[in-house]
Amino acid sequence: MLSRQVVKVLSRQAASAKNLYGLSSQIISRSYQAPRATAPLEGLRVLDMSRVLSGPYATMILGDYGADIIKIERPGLGDDTRAFGPPFCEDQSVYFMSINRNKRSVCIDFKNKKGAELIKRLAERSDVLIENFMPGKLAEMGLGYEDIKAVAPGIVYCSVTGYGQSGPYANRGGYDVTAAAIGGLMHITGEPQGDPCRVGVAVTDITTGLYAHGAIMAALFEKQRTGQGRYIDCSLLASQVAVLSHLAGNYLNSNVEATRIGAGHSSIVPYQAFKSKDGYIIVVGANNGQFKALCKKMNMEHLLEDERFKTNGLRVKNREILVPILQECLLKENTEHWLKLFDNAGFPFGSINSMSQVFEDPQVKHLGMVQEIPHPTVGSLKLAGPAVAFDGTTDMKKALPPPLLGEHTKEVLQEILHYEEGYINDLEEHKVISCMN
């Protein structure tokens, strides 16, 4: 917590900063609460030059929190994910729509010099720019960090790449699956005797998006104090290695190589999926108290007297003995029986749900995780909603549907750059921009 003296100093600095980047100029700390807008980031503008998943996921979060996200797309083609499918809803990719709500689509050919100038003009009026081009590619067009900083000194400029800005892999195309492979995730995912597996969603991409979102927020907070922007370098590979967590620690400090262990845990037993009579259930006994509660509920108290299972370390050592014993018991009843029996039992457990079961789960429903948004061509669009609630609600603003390609080109150029319609038409005629007809 900041001291009162520091808070007073920072508050005076912020009050004199004259709204440095469009947000409230108050310094927020636990000891000081400024009046908040409808959404925490209302007034923040983000120029989003990213595409596919990691960058768009980061900007969707910022958009959910109230930022104005200007999504720059290629005329005629747009974000790559507009073509990812099936499935499609009408003519719209479900993949694209799932990660691009709360954004406005502007089509600019920034390989064209006039288009590059448009990007600079928009950057001058933005607080954040995020991009995920190959290292040096935007600099070749006059849109690298130094170029943008020259016209927008306070910009927070975030680059997302596969492998970083330099090094032996810097010029490789970065995809989730390749970074997951090189970064060790696929090696540790799958059954012990099976092949390496990718995780069911592009978790390395999403993790990088979360890191980028957090770094942008940190840079914006710093900017409240200093008025200075930042250059942020995020990569899929660095993000993936960073989240190896205890498995990285095991190797780096104890030279213990991680291996595939299916749905189990290398350092905790039991902590895995078990078959029931009609499906699967996750059961966790992460400490002696939880293991004791589990054994009592399963009517297997005799395991508590077995010297082989007295501690978690011994249970890990004797995994091949204990797990089959538990499995034999759990196979005798269906999943629903165990879920009811284990309720409030003092240890973690849960069913392994299909997509249909996820969205029928009572807790998922209680959390309001399905967001319905009216869409101009699809009708009622359902999406997995924001994960974070502020003051008890995730509905901080009226959500914008994922944009149609070029839907907001004219609107943004008129609203932000104050261009006349005739000039906009001229830009469109010369293929610098494209607008939705």
Q: Span 361-378, mean pLDDT?
A: 94
How confident is the model over 29-43, as a mean pLDDT?
Answer: 57
Check if 36-242+399-434 and 271-275+280-351 are the same fold: no
Alpha helical stretches, state H, 45-144: 54-64, 94-98, 113-124, 137-140
What is the model's pLDDT at position 398?
82
On average, the pLDDT of the chain sits at: 90
At residue 206, the pLDDT reads 97
Helix (H) or strand (E) holding 375: strand 370-375
CA distance linking residue 72 with residue 434, whole number of Å: 11
Catalytic residue chosen out of the listed positions 205, 306, 343, 361: 205
Q: Domain locations in the chain?
A: 36-242+399-434, 271-275+280-351
Structure tokens at 368: 């309001």
What is the reported pLDDT for 26? 31
Which CATH architecture fits 36-242+399-434?
Answer: 3-Layer(aba) Sandwich (3.40)
Write the pLDDT tens digit of every residue in 348-358.
999 999 999 99
CA neighbours closer than 13 Å in the CB half-sphere of residue 179? 30
Give the pLDDT band of residue 392 (cuts 50, 70, 90): confident
* 18: enclosing H helix or E strand: none
Tell me what pLDDT residue 17 has.
37
| 271-275+280-351 homologous superfamily | formyl-coa transferase, domain 3 (3.30.1540.10)
> How sure is the predictor about 76, in pLDDT bands with cuts at 50, 70 and 90?
very high
Q: How confident is the model at residue 11 (pLDDT cuts 50, 70, 90)?
A: very low
Confidence (pLDDT) at 395: 77
205 catalytic residue (yes or no) = yes
Q: What band does 8 get if pLDDT is binned at 50, 70 and 90?
A: very low
Across 421-429, average pLDDT:
96
With bands split at pLDDT 50, 70 and 90, how would you rate the model's confidence at 437? low
Backbone φ and ψ for 224, nearest 5 degrees, come out as -60, -35
**Contacts of residue 234, Cβ cutoff 8 Å, sequence gap at least 6:** 54, 158, 159, 160, 161, 208, 211, 212, 215
pLDDT at 7: 38
Summarize pLDDT for 218-258 with one digit per residue, the tens. 999 999 999 999 999 999 999 999 999 999 999 999 999 99
Pair of tokens at residue 334: 């269906």
Whether 201 has a pLDDT exceeding 50, the answer reads: yes
Q: How many Cβ atoms are within 10 Å of 437's Cβ, its own excluded?
A: 4
> What are residue 29's DSSP bridge partners?
32
- Note the pLDDT of residue 32: 30
